[in-house]
Amino acid sequence: MQAASTVYASRIQRFRLPRVCIPVVGEDPGKILERAESLVRDNSFMEFRLDYLTNPIAGLPKLKHFLDMHPEATVIATCRRALNGGKFKGSGSAQLEVLTKAAATGFQLVDIELQSAEALKPAQLADLKDRVGVILSFHDFKSTKKLDDTFLSMKRYPADFYKVVSTATTLYDNVQMMKFLQAHSTQFEMVALCMGEQGIISRVLGVRAGSIFTFGAATRGEETAPGQVTASELRDTYRIEMVDAATQVYGVVGDPVSHSLSPVMMNTAFRRETVNAVYLALHAKTLKDLLACVHEIPIRGLSVTIPYKHDVVASLSNSDALTRQIGACNTVVRGQDGKLYGFNTDVAGIVVPLEQRITLAGAKVLILGAGGAARAAAFGLKSKNAEVFITNRTAEKGQALARQSKAKYLKRADVAKNSFDVILNATSVGMGNAKQSPLEEKELNTKYLFDLVYVPAETRLIKMARAKNIQVIPGLEMFVQQGARQFEIWTGKPAPIAEMGFVVTKALERMATENGWELPVPKNGTGKSEPQPEPAAKPAAKKEAATTAAGKKKAKIPAAKPAPKAGKKASRR
Ligand code: NAP
């Protein structure tokens, strides 16, 4: 009878378990109950960490009440020993007693570590398995290594699920974990992931590679392991319930990337356009690590951000002419031939919002900065025949960019003496800091101010411009436009730009609230909420058609067929 219930437990888990299990902790059973009650409506799969309780056995009767009241919930009982990274200080036999009693209480699954199983008599483990579904677990809190050796030891013990959790210190560790899962998940019920910030992608890719479920925190701040993302992020942003072996993988790569808004924006676009794809944040500490992963994970496309935009160019099979000219690539696509091709959509991100407002030919544009974004701006605007001026903190870098892009260099002291159609901030001044500005008020002699910084949405520079009745173009517009172009390059579909702008605006509003930054955030990333654009006095020609990244009339885009291999690279940003 007991054996039958285990078979039942195992079968039901395999096919009916949600993809996300939420760990619930509390020092007393009342706290666990309270939290579980508030979560159960939206999360029917939880893990109660009994090892957090001062007296786990004494707490079980209270927890039974929850299990009786919520037959729809599947709950794992875990009483991880301190030796193995948990909080339970008792012996192995005391742990077994807790888990056996948890089974009698009505928990459907219990988690027991490999080290504990090794110390038990085979009959003891068999007895436990007869009573309840058993997850045999192994945790490595430092590294990802010897996964197959570990599993060789694990599979000597019968279990309903084998859970292997390691710690990623490189992006490539995730690849190791994927390979491990792919090798064993057809034969065994596997649950596997890498902890740590670098392991975040394994929480999604693991499920794609055969992990039956993964773990997600109830809310931010309730993480029980490093790198744990929230259950709602896993479900809403990464759509984990629908990730399967056919799901295409895209991502933003950089160092750091944990706060990137690209995942929320691009996953929204994929969902809206019903593309079976997931977009992840890939934290690569070196380009070498990134490239090793890209060759092993079937990545279809990458958004590239600081610090790899320049260096990645040399690793591509080919890139379009503008990317080579700028010397920076923010978009990688894997061709049908498996090779990597590069594009630069930052240019469209800058040019499109400006062309929606003014005619660029002949427009006087001052670019602040000489880094990657400034390079995209300088080459992009020159290609539209704008009259481009550059000023930069490090004059030599600004002068070099002016020379390369055939723009003019302006000394900072001369900025206030001139007036412009557009001043474009391509420095990082103001990023994450609502008090800093790259210019003083007296230097803001312009009709339009385009601040590429978009976190916070309302920078000091933007506030100063508004106070002088200057038309403002927020950096959010660039962010959305460059992302829209990436989406179009990757999928061949028009990007759902309004939805993309909407979710990023919402995310920025949340950030502003969390950081005490000033609102308003513009309503979307499409420029519609800003004051109606007036044509610049000089040049006066009215723009013939608004250009959207949704593709009605597209900005000049990189050639579909990449041009020959990149030649000499432009200088390092
Ligand atoms: P980058 O390559 O690191 O260049 C940074 C630039 O800022 C350099 O010109 C640097 O001058 C200047 N700078 C840094 N600190 C400064 C300071 N305290 N005072 C004066 N100048 C300073 O960065 P990037 O990739 O070009 O990005 C620049 C900005 O654009 C960032 O804020 C980024 O978030 C934003 N951006 C936005 C989007 C978007 O989608 N909205 C896309 C790309 C970039 P030196 O040469 O003297 O060091």
315-331 tens-digit pLDDT: 999 999 999 999 999 99
Beta bridge partners of 164: 138, 192
So what's the pLDDT on residue 524? 52
pLDDT of 55 > 50? The answer is yes
Pairing of strands 420-425, 446-451: parallel
Could you tell me where the DSSP H helices lie in 356-493? Answer: 372-383, 395-405, 412-415, 460-467, 475-491
In the numeric block, which tokens belong to residue 38? 């508030």
| Mean pLDDT across 184-211 | 96
DSSP string, 300-324: EEEEE-TTSTTGGGGGSSEE-HHHH
pLDDT, greater one: 75 or 1: 75
What is the pLDDT confidence band of residue 526, given thresholds at 50, 70 and 90?
A: low
Q: Each residue of 271-291: b (16+ CB within 10 Å) or e?
A: bbeebebbbbbbbbeebebbb
Tokens 């995209």, residue located = 376
Q: State pLDDT tens for residues 451-477.
A: 999 999 999 999 999 999 999 999 999
Where are any strands of DSSP class E within 65-168?
A: 74-78, 109-113, 133-139, 161-167
- Helix 475-491 vs helix 346-355: angle between axes, to the nearest 10 degrees? 120
Give the residue from 411, 403, 432, 410 showing the smallest Cα distance to 512. Answer: 432
So what's the pLDDT on residue 537? 38
Report whether residue 448 contacts ligand 1, using a CB cutoff of 6 Å. no
Report whether residue 475 contacts ligand 1, using a CB cutoff of 6 Å. yes
Percent above pLDDT 70 for the chain: 88
What is the pLDDT confidence band of residue 570, given thresholds at 50, 70 and 90?
A: very low
Give the residue from 439, 446, 417, 469 showing the smallest Cα distance to 537. Answer: 446
So what's the pLDDT on residue 516? 85
pLDDT of 360 > 80? The answer is yes
What is the pLDDT confidence band of residue 558, given thresholds at 50, 70 and 90?
A: very low
**H or E element in which residue 511 lies:** helix 497-515
**Which atom of ligand 1 approaches the CA of 370 most closely?**
9
Percent above pLDDT 90 for the chain: 84
| Mean pLDDT across 129-146 | 97
Pairing of strands 446-451, 471-474: parallel
pLDDT of 239 > 90? The answer is yes
**Which atom of ligand 1 approaches the CA of 368 most closely?**
9
Amino acid at residue number 184: H
Report whether residue 304 contacts ligand 1, using a CB cutoff of 6 Å. no
pLDDT of 209 > 80? The answer is yes
Q: State pLDDT tens for residues 57-68.
A: 999 999 999 999
Of the residues 303, 427, 478, which should be mutated to test ligand 1's pocket, given the most ligand atoms within 8 Å of the CB? Answer: 427
Could you tell me where the DSSP H helices lie in 214-361? Answer: 231-232, 262-272, 287-296, 321-326, 346-355
Q: State pLDDT tens for residues 471-502.
A: 999 999 999 999 999 999 999 999 999 999 99
**Which atom of ligand 1 approaches the CA of 375 most closely?**
26
Task: Write down the catalytic residue from 87, 101, 129, 309.
Answer: 309
Handedness of CA 544, 374, 569, 172 (dihedral sign): negative
Report whether residue 305 contacts ligand 1, using a CB cutoff of 6 Å. no
Report whether residue 377 contacts ligand 1, using a CB cutoff of 6 Å. no
Report whether residue 9 contacts ligand 1, using a CB cutoff of 6 Å. no
Query: Do residues 367 and 378 lie in contact, with contact meaning Cβ atoms separated by under 8 Å?
Result: yes
To the nearest whole number, what is the mean pLDDT of the chain? 89
Handedness of CA 243, 248, 254, 255 (dihedral sign): positive
Q: How far apart are CA 424 and CA 76, in angstroms?
A: 55
So what's the pLDDT on residue 565? 33
So what's the pLDDT on residue 298? 83
What is the pLDDT confidence band of residue 289, given thresholds at 50, 70 and 90?
A: very high
**Which atom of ligand 1 approaches the CA of 374 most closely?**
26
Report whether residue 483 contacts ligand 1, using a CB cutoff of 6 Å. no
pTM of the model: 0.86
User: Which residue is closest in CA terms to ligand 1's atom 7?
Assistant: 427
What are the distances in angstroms from CA 175 to CA 279, 294, 381, 414, 522? Answer: 16, 9, 41, 53, 39
pLDDT of 554 > 50? The answer is no
In the numeric block, which tokens belong to residue 85? 């990274």
What is the pLDDT confidence band of residue 15, given thresholds at 50, 70 and 90?
A: low
Q: What is the 3-state secondary structure (H, E, C) of 347-361?
A: HHHHHHHHHCCCCCC
So what's the pLDDT on residue 69? 97
568 is catalytic: no
What is the pLDDT confidence band of residue 434, given thresholds at 50, 70 and 90?
A: confident
Q: How far is the CA of 73 from the centre of ligand 1 (A)?
A: 50
So what's the pLDDT on residue 392? 98
So what's the pLDDT on residue 522? 55
What is the pLDDT confidence band of residue 521, given thresholds at 50, 70 and 90?
A: low
Q: How far is the CA of 305 from the centre of ligand 1 (A)?
A: 12
Report whether residue 53 contacts ligand 1, using a CB cutoff of 6 Å. no
| Mean pLDDT across 144-161 | 97
| Mean pLDDT across 500-512 | 94
Sheet of 408-409, strands arranged across: 408-409, 387-391, 364-368, 420-425, 446-451, 471-474
User: Which residue is closest in CA terms to ligand 1's atom 31?
Assistant: 428
Which residues, other chains included, contact 55 with Cβ-Cβ below 8 Å and sequence gap of 6+? none
So what's the pLDDT on residue 514? 87
Query: Do residues 483 and 263 lie in contact, with contact meaning Cβ atoms separated by under 8 Å?
Result: no
pLDDT of 401 > 50? The answer is yes
**Which atom of ligand 1 approaches the CA of 427 most closely?**
7
| Mean pLDDT across 365-370 | 98
So what's the pLDDT on residue 549? 34
In the numeric block, which tokens belong to residue 423? 């001043």
